Amino acid sequence: MTYTFSPATPDATAFKALYDTTGWGPLDRRDEFYEATLRGSWASFAAYDADQLVGFARVISDGKLHAFITEMIVHPEYQRRGLGEELINTLVARCRAAGINDIQLFCAKGKADFYVHCGFAKRPDDAPGMQHRNDDLNGESK
The pLDDT, as a whole number, for residue 67 is: 94
Domain count, the chain: 1
131 found inside a domain: no
130 found inside a domain: no
29 found inside a domain: yes
141 found inside a domain: no
* Residue-number span of the structural domain to which 66 is assigned: 4-117
Which whole-number Å values give the CA distances from 122 to 5, 113, 127, 130, in the listed order? Answer: 28, 9, 10, 15
The pLDDT, as a whole number, for residue 106 is: 82
**Closest residue by Cα to residue 56 from 71, 66, 67, 77:** 71
**Closest residue by Cα to residue 87 from 97, 79, 99, 77:** 79
Confidence of residue 138 (pLDDT cuts 50, 70, 90): very low
Q: Using one digit for the tens of pLDDT, what is the confidence trace for 36-81?
A: 999 999 999 999 999 999 999 999 999 999 999 999 999 999 999 9
89 found inside a domain: yes
Regarding pTM above 0.75, the answer is: yes
140 found inside a domain: no
Confidence of residue 142 (pLDDT cuts 50, 70, 90): very low
Lowest average pLDDT, out of 70-74, 84-88, 126-130, 138-142, goes to 138-142
108 found inside a domain: yes
94 found inside a domain: yes
- State the Cα–Cα distance between residues 56 and 84, nearest whole angstrom: 8
Q: What's 20's domain CATH number?
A: 3.40.630.30
